[in-house]
Structure 1
Amino acid sequence: MHPRWIAVIASSVALVLGVVFWGTTGLVVWSITQSQAAAELGTGLPPLDDPIRETDDDFRITEVYEVGADGILSPSPSAEAAAVWAEIERVFTPRVAATRISQLKVGDDPSSDTLAWVSREDTPEYWTFAANVAYADDEELWLGTLVHEYAHVLSLGPDSVDSYTDTCDTIWTGQGCLLPETALLAFSDRFWEAYSDAPEADNVDVDVADAFYAAHEDDFVDAYAATNVAEDFAESFMAYVMEDEPTDGGVVADKLRFFRDYPPYVLIRERLRAEFDLG
């Protein structure tokens, strides 16, 4: 399996994915141009053709783009934002990216420990996707992160989660109540039900996750997977896509084999491994 990821959760509201360092990663800084900065300083507002810029808790200043129904970013994206969006489209497919992501936020902060996060919008089928391009030069790291995010969108969409209910008879994920017969609920029943010390399904406390991981290290792909069941699902799916199929035993191998029972996830794995020449 790949080396463990180091993750930092930066928000208790949005579903936030911490940056993950996979081996020794090189860093590249894609900085916002001097002309954009000068324009803001001179007028207090960005030019009309430039993206809105806002201060983000994770990435310092971010550029904000709206995603049209045709998958076109508005306003016209910077080179960095266009590259991020192109990679998202490769992983999600253009159709899914356009119909599930309503807003793209792009930051550049090599001092941040956060690589990317996704957050559900008020309309349940739509998400905001935020990316820190300071780490985007590491192709393996970046691809694994996009696959992880894709797993969240797949497993926490409106066909899997009721975001409006006041009661929950299954699991409250922080994004809503899991509907019966969904992949994430089956994953939880199979791999998390037996734990007496498991974090809550909406846990975002790093210390809680670290303690749980320390007690059950062999059961997880990496430390971040122990945060909550949704993160375990996403990290396990990422490993299922990125790694060769397991031939050994153990809980981690069983988690990867879990996805074989869900044809949409199998097809996604096959497509991504072909698209990115993963062997």
Structure 2
Amino acid sequence: MTEVQKRTRIRSGLKLQEQRIGTFLAISLLLLLTSGGATLAQPPAAATTYNQVQVKVQTANALNATYIGTVYNSSGYMEATFQSRYPVFSFDLPSSSYLFAVTALQQSVSRCPLYGEYAKGGVAQAGPAMIYPPCFWSNPAIEYGYSFQQVTGSTSITISTQPIDKIPTSNVTITTSYLNGTAASGASVSAYIVGEWYWWGNSNNRLVLWGQTDKTGKVDLIVPSVPVEVSAWAWLPVNLPSHQTTVQTTVGGEKVNVTVYWQPTYVGLAGSALIMPPKTGASITLHAQQPN
């Protein structure tokens, strides 16, 4: 083979090798793109837009109060809370439906007698023990109000509050059942005002905020005519074999026969519902509560 033929063959081989490498790289890039192995630049996700909602509180009485504002979503779950010495605060929230609840709390005032009137002064003298009259604490002044709002942009709302003992009441019927449709007889049921952190149960003796369901799984409550969260729960026994079992185990290097005793075991089931006026009832399905 001549020198010219050798150089021609070498150039042909190099050219063929370059073509193969180019083809290999093209195929590899295609596989990466189609299989997700390569990450292409993606447009940035749209940032969540927040709307500023200013809440102003208008109390029924002049109070030197602490104001607590709480925001809940439409399912009754808390989204945000704020506490202030002033009757105005704001929240930054995405567009959605919200329940705004406000509590105005004026701390209780103690009234104690002037112990100086009972003291004789000077060095203590021997004699009968002196009993001072007790201090008296008044119930705190509490007002409550709420507003259900559809937030689509920045806005300002005013919530009027009223004393909790002046809030009208409503009769509500709670129906409880298990997942298979069986009535939850004997279940415990309780109700509380959504966003009212300092409710005094004795502020209104007409209220019935707790009860047990009858054989049909129903119970009647008397609650304030405001948003109310109702919870129901029950403990059910687990059907286990009652016979004793003897097992052999090793204790301290020695085989020991141990008798196993079955003890009653219970499973907790619970559920809840949000009642918004003017609704007068709710159905609650109890589900097993798994330990964390």
Between structure 1 and structure 2, the one with the greater Rg is 2
Taking structure 1 as the reference length, what is the TM-score of the superposition? 0.22
Q: Which has the higher contact order (CA 8 A, sep 6+)?
A: 1
TM (norm. structure 2) is 0.22
